[in-house]
Amino acid sequence: MNAECVSIEGLSVSYLSSTGRIEALRDISFKVYDGELITIVGPSGCGKTTLLNAIAGLLNFRNDVLISGKIFVKNAKSIGYVFQRDALLPWRTVIENVALGLEVRNFLKKKRKEIALDLLKMIGLEDYGNKYPHELSVGMRQRVALARAIAYDPELILMDEPLGSLDAQTRMTLQDEILAIHKKTRKTMLMVTHDIAEAIILGDRILVMSGRPGTVKSEYIVKLPKPRSAFSSRLDPEFSRLYGLILDDLK
């Protein structure tokens, strides 16, 4: 068994507002091991983004958030995050966006460019380095956001519905890309999606959350053989078996 990359024990989170207290997460516990790709599905508003934000440390020190329980992240300084709404900086070119985390970490200019160009090649956007985000399609922007999150080689990558706003075709292409990136880099990944099929195709393990307050309702190990593909893995009986179980959980 690989080492623990993330360990959550009894995590509860509430938001305080002028109208009262909203309990977002209740008593969440799970572990993520090095190199695993975990997918998380759950109904809208069940606290998926809250969970990723808690792991990324973004809820600490906020005076409108009550947080209890234990969150351990092996290397908390080394987290890449693809936010739910794509957060590319509009005034920076594609290559400058990809290199953002490298800049913050004081990589030399030449090195930044080299790494960013390599990643753009990997995602098939090497000709778009000097374009601005508004000149790209939504799918291209998602690719850039993904490249930016892995650019400085973080140990853990959090992705919040990274393919949320894409059409079915583009979505499947990017699912294959995520599978390829995971295979190549062996990064630990935690990905939120509202798409059951996507959770099964990509996940080594799936966490299904209940409605608010979010709890971990069930957990499935995905026994689909690897390498997987967004198209052909759907034809496997294991796919339909899991689909049925998760659909039932979410009812």
Ligand X SMILES: Nc1ncnc2c1ncn2[C@@H]1O[C@H](COP(=O)(O)OP(=O)(O)OP(=O)(O)O)[C@@H](O)[C@H]1O
**Part of the chain binding Mg ion (CB under 5 A), chosen from 79-87, 102-110, 164-172, 220-228:** 79-87
State in angstroms the smallest separation of the CB of 84 from Mg ion. Answer: 5
Q: How far is the CB of 193 from ligand X (least distance, A)?
A: 10
CA distances in angstroms from 5 to 172, 189, 227, listed in the order given: 28, 10, 23
Q: Which residue is nearest to Mg ion (CB)?
A: 49
Which whole-number Å values give the CA distances from 62 to 18, 28, 51, 161, in the listed order?
15, 20, 15, 24
Q: Show contacts with ligand X in window 178-197 (CB under 6 A).
A: 194
CB atoms within 10 A of CB 67: 16
Does 17 bind ligand X (CB under 6 A)? Our answer is yes
Map residue 27 onto helix, strand or coil: strand
Chain position carrying tokens 């992240």: 73
Which of 173, 232, 222 minimizes the C-alpha distance to 202?
Answer: 222
Please report whether residue 170 would count as binding Mg ion according to CB under 5 A. Answer: no
Q: How far apart are CA 135 and CA 137, in angstroms?
A: 7
Q: Does 45 bind ligand X (CB under 6 A)?
A: yes
How far is the C-alpha of 218 from the C-alpha of 84, rounded, in Å? 23
The residue within the footprint of Mg ion, chosen from 30, 34, 43, 49 (CB under 5 A), is 49
Nearer to Mg ion, 95 or 146 (CB): 146
Residues of span 81-110 touching Mg ion by CB under 5 A: 84
- Number of residues this chain uses to bind ligand X (CB under 6 A): 15
Q: According to the binding rule CB under 6 A, does residue 87 interact with ligand X? A: no
Please report whether residue 44 would count as binding ligand X according to CB under 6 A. yes
Could you list the residues that contact ligand X (CB under 6 A)? 15, 17, 22, 24, 42, 44-50, 84, 194, 212
